[in-house]
Amino acid sequence: MGSNPIKLTTPLSEEDVRALRIGDSVKLSGVIYTARDAAHSRLVELLEAGRELPFPVEGAALYYVGPCPAKPPRVIGSAGPTTSYRMDPYTPPLLAAGLRAMIGKGKRGPAVRESMQEHGAVYFAAVGGAAALIARCVKELEIIAYEDLGTEAVRRLVVEDFPLIVANDAHGGDAYLENRKPYQSLVLD
Amino acid sequence: MREVSTELVTRTVRDLCLEANYRLPPDVERALAEARTRETSPAGRDILDVICENARIARDEEVPLCQDTGFTVVWAAVGREVHFDGDFKAAVDEGVRQGYREGYLRKSIVEDPFRRKNTGDNTPAAIHFMLVEGDRVDLLIEPKGGGCENMSRIAMLKPADGVEGAREFILRTIDEAGPNPCPPTIVGVGVGGTFELAALLAKHATVRPVGEYHPDPFYAELERNCLEEINQLGIGPQGLGGRTTALWLAIETHPCHIASLPVAVNVQCHSARWKRAVI
């Protein structure tokens, strides 16, 4: 998507992330981890108890997804993003622990956006509903935690050129607010 | 009386679950392609291209369009001359069970809203049963995703709020939903009836084919106006700006109480999947 996408590979540095601006097209490669509602609740419980997370969080990218089962011989089933705001209550502690990027769809709350600025993190939008297409970017998959959660288990994925758009940057920018303005002719009070 | 085997019901539901999840209805695919030609936002055009390409991949490779293969909503219109040889509800659930297992579809249902243990087979389905004339069984399967369902709202307006009040509520619902329900969406609106009927009408409106207006010119005009205003909100594909926020808007109505004006808005994502079969 978009012209001249920026190619990035995980783990991401604070410098990588601070260079991004809302609306930038990115192709992300490397290891990313999946987690959605139920896994987030457990991850934050671990942080609160002062225990280790099941993956190295420093510089990590989390993908909010609950994939379909893989139809052989595929690595993964359809795997598009889920709506991110549900992860908002759990996000600031993960950012404080070193989480550098999140991939999902839809708006984030003010507490998440502030915490992203403070710690230097980026929120990418993937195209919601483009799940069959996104699955093609996934080259490897391994369940690393919470297998009992089924589709909500934490998976380690290796992705290649995952197409993303910067929705919230580390400077307080919000593409959902800004990029809408040129096309908005009706404003509700 | 016509005897209908519950085995046939199961097989039909199984097949419909697969078809619905792999193939976007032709009217929706056409509407997306047409929106692509009208969209002026570069990001919006890119996103519509991705959505259309995704539909081609899903169809060609027989994989789910979206990882959220939904709550299986079943609209069952059963002729009063039909006699089933067994438990109809159990037969539908068995069809869902087989379809979701054999089709590699995601299982997204938890057995209790607070304790949240996954049922493991996407059952039970949400079955809406209608008794109709004749000896046929009309089954429509609508896998409904959670993201757009969460952006749906209902309001018990005052009769004095009138058409203007309803329009404002519809617009506000879509405005607040923003990018979350995976626009461009299909907006189902239910007006009238009781609290629960309005919600049911709104959901049923989401399976009206794109391009088909309400038969009453008064409501057809209201549908046209609401859709136009929604597309002036600038939300655009995936909420990243553009003129295509909704592909279609359909209104269903029902007589209501002298004290009430219920209005429900059920949002359907661009992966507006449904498939119908008549036994």
pLDDT mean over A132-138: 97
CA dihedral B38, B42, B44, B46 (to 10 degrees): 110
Tell me, rounded to whole angstroms, the distance of Cα B198 from its chain centroid: 14
The whole-angstrom distance between B239's CA and the closest CA on chain A is: 6
Give the one of B63, B150, B172 whose C-beta lies nearest to A77's C-beta.
B63
pLDDT at position A1 over 70 = no
Number of neighbours of residue B105 by Cβ within 10 angstroms: 29
Give pLDDT, residue B31.
98
- Rounded-to-integer distance, Cα B24 and Cα B56, Å: 9
Q: Which residues pair with A21 in a beta bridge?
A: none
Give pLDDT, residue A189.
82
Is A2 in the B-facing interface, judged by CB distances under 8 Å? yes
Tell me, rounded to whole angstroms, the distance of Cα A171 from its chain centroid: 17
pLDDT at position B149 over 70 = yes
* Placement of tokens 């993003």 in the chain: A81
**Residue B161 neighbours by CB under 8 Å, 6+ apart:** B261
For residue B264, the 8-state DSSP code is E
CB–CB contact B179 A107 (8 Å): yes
Is B171 in the A-facing interface, judged by CB distances under 8 Å? yes
CB–CB contact A83 B147 (8 Å): yes
**Residue B116 neighbours by CB under 8 Å, 6+ apart:** A38, B110
pLDDT at position A3 over 70 = no
| B234 to A177, A179, B164, B183, B241: CA distances (angstroms) | 10, 9, 21, 11, 6
Half-sphere exposure of A58 (CA within 13 A, CB side): 1
Pairing mode, if any, of strands A122-125 and A154-168?
Answer: antiparallel
The whole-angstrom distance between A17's CA and the closest CA on chain B is: 20
**Residue B154 neighbours by CB under 8 Å, 6+ apart:** B195, B198, B199, B202, B262, B263, B264, B265
- In chain A the domains, ranked by start, together with CATH numbers, are 30-164 (3.20.130.10)
Half-sphere exposure of B140 (CA within 13 A, CB side): 17
Give pLDDT, residue B216.
98
Tokens representing A90 are 């759990």
* Residues of chain A numbered 124-183 and touching chain B (CB < 8 Å): 125, 127-133, 135-136, 149-151, 163, 165, 167, 175-176, 179-183
Give the one of A71, A149, A182 whose C-beta lies nearest to B104's C-beta.
A71
* Residues of chain A numbered 6-25 and touching chain B (CB < 8 Å): 23
Catalytic residues of A: 40
Burial of A98 (0-12, 13-18, 19+ CB in 10 A): middle
pLDDT mean over A32-46: 97
Residue in A with minimal Cα distance to B60: A132
Give the one of B51, B104, B234 whose C-beta lies nearest to A130's C-beta.
B51
The whole-angstrom distance between A55's CA and the closest CA on chain B is: 24
**Residue length of chain B:** 279
pLDDT at position B233 over 70 = yes
**pLDDT of B179-193, one tens digit each?**
999 999 999 999 999
Asked whether A83 and B180 are in contact (CB, 8 A), the reply is yes
Pairing mode, if any, of strands A6-9 and A25-34?
Answer: parallel
Check if CATH label 3.30.160 holds for domain B147-273.
no
Residue in A with minimal Cα distance to B269: A129
* Residues of chain A numbered 101-130 and touching chain B (CB < 8 Å): 105-107, 125, 127-130
CB–CB contact B171 A188 (8 Å): yes
- Rounded-to-integer distance, Cα A138 and Cα A156, Å: 10
Least Cα distance to A125 among B58, B179, B234, B271 occurs for B179
- Rounded-to-integer distance, Cα B237 and Cα B185, Å: 9
Give the one of B232, B238, B271 whose C-beta lies nearest to A186's C-beta.
B232
Amino acid identity of residue A37, one-letter, is D
Is B225 in the A-facing interface, judged by CB distances under 8 Å? no
Mutate to test the interface with A, among B68, B167, B231, B244 (most CBs of A within 10 A): B68
Average pLDDT of chain A is 96
* Residues of chain A numbered 52-81 and touching chain B (CB < 8 Å): 65-71, 74, 77-80
pLDDT at position A186 over 90 = yes
| B165 to A187, B33, B154, B161, B263: CA distances (angstroms) | 16, 33, 13, 5, 9
pLDDT at position A10 over 70 = yes
DSSP secondary structure letters along chain A: --SSPEEEESSPPHHHHHT--TT-EEEEEEEEEE--HHHHHHHHHHHHTTPPPSS--TT-EEE---PPPPPTT-SS---PPPBGGGGGGGHHHHHHTT--EEEEBS---HHHHHHHHHHT-EEEEP-TT-HHHHHTTEEEEEEEE-GGGGGGSEEEEEEEEEEEEEEE-TTS-BHHHHTTGGG------
> Helix (H, G, I), strand (E, B), or coil: what is residue B239?
helix
CA dihedral A125, A131, A133, A137 (to 10 degrees): 70
ipTM: 0.94
CA dihedral B75, B76, B79, B85 (to 10 degrees): 180
The whole-angstrom distance between A84's CA and the closest CA on chain B is: 8
pLDDT mean over B34-53: 96
